[in-house]
Amino acid sequence: MSEPRAYVEVDLRAIASNIKLVASLSDAQILAVVKADAYGHGLIDVAETAVEAGAQWLGTALLEEALALRAAGLKVPVMAWLTPPGDDFDEALRKNIDLSVSSLALLEEILAASERTGIKPRIHIEVDTGMTRGGFLEEWDPFLIRINEVKDHLHIVGFWTHFARADEPDSDFTEQQLILFNVLLNALQGQGIYPEIVHAANSAGALAHKGSHKQMVRLGIAMYGLSPDISAMGPSEKLGLIPAMSIKAKLVNVKSVPALSRVGYGGVGVTDRDTKLGIVCMGYSDGLPRRADSTAGVSYQGELARLVGRVSMDQCVVDLGPDSTALAGEYVTVIGEDGFSADDWAQAAGTINYEITTRIATRLPRIYHR
């Protein structure tokens, strides 16, 4: 087989280490969030690693992601929280997927699926405590009446909410969300309903708000070794996290050009010296952000080579420096320890590390280190 022109390396040992770090902070169970192909790292390999490292739960946004975990033979509890009306809830129940209930319409669809299949649904009630996105808000009072009518037909496993600003250490918004969360939980308990697993914390909550752990932490970005917010919480290293993803791509060509050469579409990149340019086999169709500026780039043997001009669809151009010994056919590091990080790429493109890793295209093979 020919060598890949670009590939993603995933260090599963880093993922295990990051999970153990967060698990050591409290007695809360860990739900490993593996939505979006495990933030671009690869759904099944990451899920298996997370379970081996001690995560008791797996969590996905979509039902199809949860079903893929079951199809791969994973037996731990799996929760899917973004299931629009019309999803195949019969199949969800047959495959023992925990479902989030965030609206009356969804509750009725799940009850109907239960009637058809004869299976008692395992549900987690989601309340909207300040994110103003998922969960019960204005339907809460009618929901309390309805859930009281149907509670015997359900296994009410969880009660949960999601934080909007847990990465902001100076904000008391998370504490306010937790206060409302408790009020709503009390109202539910007033109906004689006591969910076993109350959960709220994402990575930022887990790392910065110990009081938010409750019975379970839904761990996403930190499991992949990245900081939820580098400006507010500091980079990975400061948090004791090890980034799991690195990316290598081949140089398709190396060419010497004079100073003031205009590079790429629109000619917006201009060389500031006589130099050697590296043409890298990775572009925006592979997930590199087109709008990244020259604060990002690649590294070759530990030397940084910055982007020149716009990222193209399948390639980009970097300034290797006049004395570079890099050759066509060699690999450079696009993301990795000896070069630029996902955070560097995020800053260069005005986005966040989450968006960088989740957008790395599936056409790049993933290579796993165990």
Known catalytic residues? Answer: 35, 265
Query: CB of 369: closest distance to ligand PLP in angstroms?
Result: 22
CB nearer to ligand PLP: pick between 161 and 312:
161
The piece of 176-184, 214-222, 253-261, 361-369 that touches ligand PLP (CB under 6 A) is 214-222
**What is d(CA 222, CA 31) in angstroms, rounded to the nearest whole number?**
12
Nearest approach, Cβ of residue 220 and ligand PLP (Å): 2
Region of 111-119, 201-209, 279-287, 294-302 interacting with ligand PLP (CB under 6 A)? 201-209
Q: How far is the CB of 307 from ligand PLP (least distance, A)?
A: 27
Binding-site string for ligand PLP from residue 18 to residue 57, where x marks contact by CB under 6 A and - marks none: ---------------x-x----------------------
Beta-carbon contacts of 301 under 8 Å, excluding residues fewer than 6 positions away, are: 326, 338
- 3-state percent breakdown (helix, strand, coil) of the chain, nearest 5: 35, 25, 40
The reply to whether 143 sits near ligand PLP by the rule CB under 6 A is no
288: Cβ contacts below 8 Å, ≥ 6 apart: 282, 311, 316, 334, 345
Strand 245-257 and strand 331-335: the pairing is antiparallel
Work out which of 124, 162, 214, 310 binds ligand PLP, going by CB under 6 A. 162
Interface with ligand PLP, residue 159, by CB under 6 A: no
- Within 46-105, the residues that bind ligand PLP by CB under 6 A are 81
Calculate the alpha carbon distances from 221 to 129, 139, 230, 286, 340 in Å.
22, 31, 12, 21, 18
Q: And the tokens for 296?
A: 């990002």
Q: Which amino acid is at 354?
A: Y
Between 175 and 272, whose beta carbon lies closer to ligand PLP?
Answer: 175
User: Segment contacting ligand PLP (CB under 6 A): 141-149, 202-210, 287-295, 342-350?
Assistant: 202-210
The 10 Å Cβ neighbour count of residue 297 is: 28
Q: How far is the CB of 293 from ligand PLP (least distance, A)?
A: 26
Q: How far apart are the C-alpha atoms of 343 and 347, rounded to whole Å?
A: 6
Nearer residue to ligand PLP within complex by CB, 158 or 289: 158
Closest residue to ligand PLP: CB criterion = 220
Q: Is 182 helix (H, G, I), strand (E, B) or coil?
A: helix
Q: Radius of gyration over alpha carbons of the chain, in Å?
A: 23
Give the binding range for ligand PLP (CB under 6 A) out of 40-48, 217-225, 286-294, 321-329: 217-225
- Regarding 241 and contact with ligand PLP (CB under 6 A), the answer is no
Judged by CB under 6 A, does residue 202 bind ligand PLP?
yes
Distance in Å, CB of 282 to ligand PLP, minimum: 25
**Rounded CA gap, 143 and 188, in Å?**
10
Least distance (Å) between residue 139 CB and ligand PLP: 19
d(CA 368, CA 244): 10
Q: Does 220 bind ligand PLP (CB under 6 A)?
A: yes
The tokens describing 351, both together, are: 């986005």
DSSP reduced 3-state for 231: helix
The CB density around residue 70, as the number of other CB atoms within 10 Å, is 17
Which CB sits closer to ligand PLP, 43 or 222? 222
User: Binding residue for ligand PLP (CB under 6 A) from 228, 278, 287, 336?
Assistant: 228
Residues near ligand PLP (CB under 6 A), total = 13
Q: Does 221 bind ligand PLP (CB under 6 A)?
A: yes
Report in angstroms how near the CB of residue 324 gets to ligand PLP at its nearest.
37
CA-CA-CA-CA dihedral for 159, 100, 30, 199, to nearest 10: -20
Nearer to ligand PLP, 221 or 311 (CB): 221
Cβ burial, residue 212 (10 Å; 0-12/13-18/19+): buried
Q: Please report, to the nearest 10 degrees, the dihedral formed by the alpha carbons of residues 355, 316, 293, 333 taken in order.
A: 70
Q: Which residues bind ligand PLP (CB under 6 A)?
A: 33, 35, 81, 162, 202-204, 218-222, 228
